[in-house]
Amino acid sequence: MRVLFLVIGLTVTNCHIISDYQEPNFTNEEPDDFSYYLNDVPDFEIVHFSNFPSPTHVEHPLEIKIFGNTLNLRLRRNELLTAPNFKALVKDDVDRELNFTGKSNCHFLHKDENFMAAISFCQDQQAQGILFLPNDTFEIQPVPVSKPHTYNVPHLVRRIPFLPEVFTNDVSSVILPLEENQQKFKRDENGGSKKLTIEAALFFDEAAYKLFAPYFKYNDEELTNMLLAYMNAIQALYHHPSLKQAIDIVLVKLEIFKKQPADLPHYDGERSQLLDSFCAYNQKHNPKDDKNPSHWDMGLYVSGLDFFAYENGRKSGVTMGLATVGGVCMDKYNCVIAELGTTNVFGKPYPSAGFTSVYVLAHEIGHNIGMHHDSTGNNCPKEGYIMSPSRGTNGETLWSSCSANIMRTMGWAKCLEDAPSKPAKKLDHTKYGKQPGVVWGAKKQCEVLLRDSDAEIYNPAELEGICENLRCKTPHRSGFYFAGPALEGTSCGDSKSCQGGKCAAQKKQPTQNVVKGGWSNWTNVSECSSACIQRSKGFMPRRRTCTNPKPVNTDEGCEGSGYEVVLCMDDKLCKNKRQKINEFASKKCKQFSKLLPELDKNASGLQATYESDRLWMSCAIFCRRKNSNSYYTPRFELNDLHEDPYFPDGTWCHSDGKINHYCIQHHCLPENFKLTKGILPDDDLLLPQNAKPNAKPASDNLMKYFSIDLNKTPLLKILKPESEEPKDDDDEWFDEDYIEIPGLDL
C-alpha cells in the first residue's frame, strides 16, 4: 500500500463560471475566454458603468441597474485585501515573482443595512466583483471581446446559484476593513473554543512542474489556479460538519520550482531523506517569529516524484506522503511531503495522481495536527474515514469521531490561534467556495488525473456513483481509471451535487432554462502524417468541442467523442521510401524490450491476422517472447506510456476483397467507415488501469489473450473482464505514513 503524506490548505473567495452568452452585439468573443464567464446559470444582464474611480479615490459612488432594481453603492477602498508580505515565486535560474496582486489601490467595498459589495477596478474601464443582497448574490465580470475597448466596456452581471454556507465566512472577512476599528480577527466563541487557522506555505517541486506544466501549456497562472482548487478541496474537508470544529487554511507563500533549489535535494523520492531535506529547507526559509506576517505554521512540499521507502531490506513504492504527528507548531517538525500526479514506471496513475490526492493530503494534515490512524490507539473503525490507515480510490470522505475528538483538544496548538492577513485575491483558494467541483467538474477532474484534455467520464449514465468513485477514460488508452471520490460540489445529476461523498439534492432553485449542447465543426490538429508503411495511408487527427451551443443547466453534454482520426493521401510524403510492416514492427519491438526485458530484442515483430470480433488484433504490434514460441502484444503494460503498442493510424490491416481496411484509433476499420455518433466499437480491455501498490505480472489468461503462435493463431480468443478485474483492497495501500516525535504525548 502507498503511504499517505501530509499537505496543507488555503482560503478562497467564491468563484463561479458562467456559460455561453450570445447577443447580437457581441458575436466576436473568443469562445475559450468567454466560456469562463458563462456556465450553468443563464440569469444575467449586460450593463455599462458610467464612471470609474481614480487611483487617488478613497471613496467612490456607483449606481448599478439590474433586474429592475437600482443599487446605489458608496464604495470604500479596501486596504487589507492583499497581505503586504505575501510572495508567490517561480524559481528557475532567475527567480520571478508572480504578479497576481494587481494594483494595491483598486479594491473597493460597500456595506449598508441592505446589502454588501466587493468590487475591483484593477484594469482600465473594467470592474470585477460580487454583490451580496439579502436573498441573492451577483457576480460582475467584464465581457471579453475580440477588439479592445477604450471606454464603456460591457459588463455581465449574473445571479450566482445558492450553495449552502458557501459565502458565510467570506462575507464577514470582506466586511472587516469597514469596521470602525478595523479589528484584525474575531475568535469563534462556539463552545468556548478558539478559531483555528493554519497559515500554509506551498512548494511545488520541479518533478511536479514537469508533469503538469505541459497540460496547462506552461501557463503559470493556470497551474496556480489548479493548485488553489486542490487546496480549496482540502479546506472543504476541514470545514465538514463531521469534524465538529472547522479549521481555516490560508496561503502565506507559494513557490513553483521550475528548477529544484540547490538546498533542497530530493533523493529521488526516498521518503525519509526527502522529508528531512524539506524540513531543513522549510525551517531555513520560514521566519522564526510567529507574529511575523510572513511566517507560516506548516510547510507543504507537493511533489511529482514517486515516493518510496525501504522495508525489511526491500524497496516499497506504496508510500504517498509523510508527516510527523503533532509537529505543526514546532519549527523542526511543521513540514509535510506529498505526491501529486505520480504514476508507476508504466505510466499507470497511483491514487495520488489526480484530485484523490486531496484526501491523502487532508489525512496527512490530520497527522501533523495530532491525529493518529483510526483503529490505532482508539476505538474507531479501521476503514471508512479520512484517517483510515489505508488510502485507495474508494470512499473515505468523512471524519471519524476519533478525529473530531482531537479537534476538541487543540489548546496546545497556540500557533494556530493568530489571525492571518487576507491573501491576494487571485492567490486565495476560497474563491472556489468550498465547492471546487462547481468549477472543476467531473470531466476536468478526469483531465487532471490523466493529464489529457480528451479524458472524460467513463459512463455518463452512472453519474450518481461518481461521488464515491469517479471513473475516467480517454480515446488514447484502453480500459478505465479510478479517480477517487469526485470533488465537493461536482454535479452528479439533475439538481444534485457531491456533498460529503454522497450524491445529494441541491436546495430547490428557480426553474432554469435548459440548453442542450451541440458540437462545433471539426478542426484539424495537424497536417497529414504517415509512417510510410507499404499499402498504408496517412492520417490527420482532428477535434471538435461541445460549444455550439455549450450545454446550460444539463449534465448530458454532447453525444460522441470530441476526437477522431481521418485518413489522407501520403504519396507526397512517402514517395519511394515505404517500409515493410514487419520492419516497422521489429524496430518497435526492440524499443519495447528496453522496458520489458521478457521480449526478445533481436527477434522480428509482426502483424496479426484480422479478426472481426477483435478489431484491435491486426493493429497491435506483436513481439517474440524470450524462450517461447509465441508472440505477445504489450497492450496492457504500455497502455499508459508514450510507447504506443499499436501500428500508426492509416496502417493497412485487412481487405475483404472489395474494401481495404486501415487502423483508425487502434481498430481495423473499412476505409469508408463513418462514426455516426463519433463513438468507436467497444474496447475489450474493460479493466481498471490504475497502478497497484505491489506490481504483479499479468495473469496467464491475460497473457494468452494477448498472444499468438508462430502461425498467428490466438492462444485465447475470449477473456472475461470480471474474472481479471482485481478486487478492491485498500489494505494493500496500508503503511505507516507518520513519524512520532520523541517525548511528545498527544
Active-site amino acid positions? 364
Nearest to 474 by CA among 455, 460, 458: 455
Q: Alpha-carbon distance 198 to 176, whole Å?
A: 19
372 annotated among ligand-binding-site residues: no
Burial of 691 (0-12, 13-18, 19+ CB in 10 A): buried
Q: Alpha-carbon distance 533 to 81, whole Å?
A: 62
Nearest to 662 by CA among 540, 745, 562, 509: 540
Sequence-distant (≥ 6) Cβ neighbours of residue 711 within 8 angstroms = none
110 annotated among ligand-binding-site residues: no
* Strand bridging mode 667-670 / 660-664: antiparallel
Cis link prior to 549 (omega < 30° from 0)? yes
Unique residue bearing C-alpha cell 477483435: 614
367 annotated among ligand-binding-site residues: yes
Q: Alpha-carbon distance 101 to 124, whole Å?
A: 16
Q: Alpha-carbon distance 297 to 294, whole Å?
A: 10
Q: How many residues does the chain have?
A: 746
Q: Alpha-carbon distance 630 to 620, whole Å?
A: 15
Q: Are 297 and 196 in contact (CB under 8 A)?
A: no
Nearest to 12 by CA among 212, 170, 128: 170
Secondary structure in 3-state letters for 168-234: HHHHHHHHHHHCCCCCCCCCCCHHHCCCEEEEEEEEECHHHHHHHCCCCCCCHHHHHHHHHHHHHHH
The beta strand positions in 650-695, using DSSP E, are 652-655, 660-664, 667-670
Q: What is the DSSP string of 399-448?
A: --HHHHHHHTT-TT-GGGGSPPPPPPGGG-BGGGTT-GGGTS-HHHHHHH
* Strand bridging mode 652-655 / 738-739: unpaired
Unique residue bearing C-alpha cell 468563484: 15
Q: Are 690 and 469 in contact (CB under 8 A)?
A: no
Q: Alpha-carbon distance 1 to 692, whole Å?
A: 8
Give me 703's grid cell: 497473457
Residue list, annotated binding site for Zn(2+):
363, 367, 373
Residue list, annotated binding site:
363, 367, 373
